[in-house]
Chain A
């Protein structure tokens, strides 16, 4: 029987990502990975795209991974794990390996998923590999020093969308990857956040047990890029959820379902004002950008409610 998703029980789960790694204090990535892996009782095999998670968990001469783990280049995590999965099933079919319920998981950041890795991810899920791909979305290329990605929110300052006299931060709205993946009509797509840990873990279970390709997009704070204190990670993540910047929902066999509805939908300002990357938006000449942002969020939220039959 699956481990009950209760803190008491989960504490007994072996840590698959060992402590001692060099991710920054307050990094969302390790919280996401630990929560997700604790939700899976079965053996896991992991591929990891180039990025903070890969670099900081495998500092010479150590590794934090207590599971089979492979790093490939930036764009190849989804392709690599699809190869591992296909080979395993082939060897099982040939009777050369024992059949176990192995869960194959690819991890990548938003740069390695939304941008350079999108082709590989799209191809892997279209081919139907029985695997879960997880994007930990911190909204920029944090590993190379905070450059904008197509996941970077509108108006955010990054080193390649610098807020100044010419532009007020990133000028484009972010790509909605979760919906792009849902459009692949795969058995399971989920959007989650570590501040709602039980929701994240339940989605993880559904994803690895859906019998086909699954995708999860998980909001993951980077305090270096977002500019907030290291002990505010989960609080600020939850503000992203409660302002409906990052709604929690899932698409199971084509059925859209909202898994969390904020009691009171907070204005986006509540999320923006806690992060240094949006500080310039509060200057008088930029206030209209906050209104624009709010409008976009409202529009998408209403659309989501409708899809989920909540409108």
Chain B
């Protein structure tokens, strides 16, 4: 395919269409509007549906409805809209409805700085709605990877019947890079699993014994003759509301289990030069670009610095980080916030080992700021 110059937001829209997304409901918000604008042009061409809703609450609700109707569905927003979506994200987690929510992060809280990059919604992506629920969140670092991870987001959401959050940031969303997109027929796309049982035996939330599907019961789209109940209340295997602990507990175990037992499929990351390193830099999203540059510079100066870039940030790649950091003296975690994913790193490797590099003022972290920390640590080693 020919090379094209495009924004991360456009690549996200292209990735969605390539992944088989045929439904978008959203609401304009900087810096995610270009995703909606692009899909308003792309979706009608492939027989898909673009709807601009009256707000973000309606957007995610329509996406949930579309998914239950059988379509791969997407919404895209930024911090303020992501906040409004939280109740329905919890609903999608509770009712196990596959859908993809893109949050092109901008500087918060509140209206914040709409056109400034940030990574302040990392914890919100994990714990934004109330209650206990598992979540998958991915963070791209280039325009091309935005395409790839959008496809992955759809695959994971279909495979595990769960909402997936694509956590972009303003820099990735608005930055233009030259990309060559892969041909659609080369992509591996997940399809919703179909049920083999007749309607009267179908249980949409069945806790069947572990099988090849890691206990993800098929979700039959509305309109195929399977009548069942969907609710935001805790429910039994058929979907009917329950307050019985012996029905609530197995549900919780299953929805957490389907993610926890599939980490080898869900956890995406890239590591470089960890074998002989004594300092490790862990980064994600746009900040990883500065981190990568700093690591390269440090290496040319003879430092032994490793680089671990997390593409999947939720669930947290606990074992990957533990293994990578095991022999290391120090771990550096740069983030465009006051310290969010670093809390997970500190939990795994211990606070003493970790140095934070934070900015939450609307400016990017410069490679030199990370390099200075690396050099400072080297002096101490």
Contacts and interface: CB of A to CB of B under 8 A. Distances in A.
Contacts of B36: 147, 160
Contacts, number: 49
B110 A160 contact: no
Contacts of A159: 33, 37, 40
B33 A148 contact: no
A162 B40 contact: yes
B55 A147 contact: no
Interface class of chain A by DSSP: loop
Interface string A76-118: 0000000000000000000000000000000000010011101
A22 B85 CA distance: 32
B76 to A, nearest CB: 12
B217 interface: no
Contacts of A144: 28-30, 33
A181 B41 CA distance: 34
B27 A116 contact: yes
Nearest to A144: B28
B54 interface: yes
Nearest to A161: B40
Nearest to A75: B55
Interface string B39-50: 011001100001
B80 interface: yes
B52 interface: yes
Contacts of A116: 27, 54-56
A115 B50 CA distance: 17
B370 to A, nearest CB: 28
A160 B52 CA distance: 7
A177 B168 CA distance: 36
B111 A111 contact: no
Interface residues of B, number: 19
B44 A166 contact: yes
Interface in B105-131: 110-111
Given A147-B36, A161-B40, A166-B45, A111 B80 contact: no
B44 A167 contact: yes
Nearest to B29: A144
A73 interface: yes
**Interface size class for chain A?**
20 to 34
A115 B29 CA distance: 14
A226 interface: no
A160 B45 contact: no
Contact of A160 (B29, B30, B40, B111): B40
A150 B40 CA distance: 16
A145 interface: yes
A111 B30 CA distance: 14
Contacts of B54: 114-116, 118, 150
A74 interface: yes
Contact of A111 (B28, B40, B56): B28
Interface string B276-312: 0000000000000000000000000000000000000
A75 B27 CA distance: 13
Nearest to B81: A74
Interface in B18-73: 27-30, 33, 36-37, 40-41, 44-45, 50, 52, 54-56
Contacts of A164: 41
A71 B80 CA distance: 14
A141 interface: yes
Contacts of A141: 28
A191 interface: no
Contacts of A204: none
Interface in A152-198: 159-162, 164, 166-167
Nearest to B40: A160
A161 B41 CA distance: 9
12 contacts: A73-B80, A73-B110, A111-B28, A114-B54, A115-B55, A116-B27, A144-B29, A145-B28, A147-B33, A159-B40, A160-B36, A160-B40
Interface of B: 27-30, 33, 36-37, 40-41, 44-45, 50, 52, 54-56, 80, 110-111
Given A111-B28, A144-B30, A160-B52, 16 more contacts: A73-B80, A73-B110, A73-B111, A75-B55, A115-B55, A116-B56, A118-B54, A144-B33, A145-B28, A147-B28, A147-B52, A160-B36, A160-B50, A161-B40, A162-B40, A166-B44
Interface of A: 50, 71, 73-75, 111, 114-116, 118, 141, 144-145, 147-148, 150, 159-162, 164, 166-167
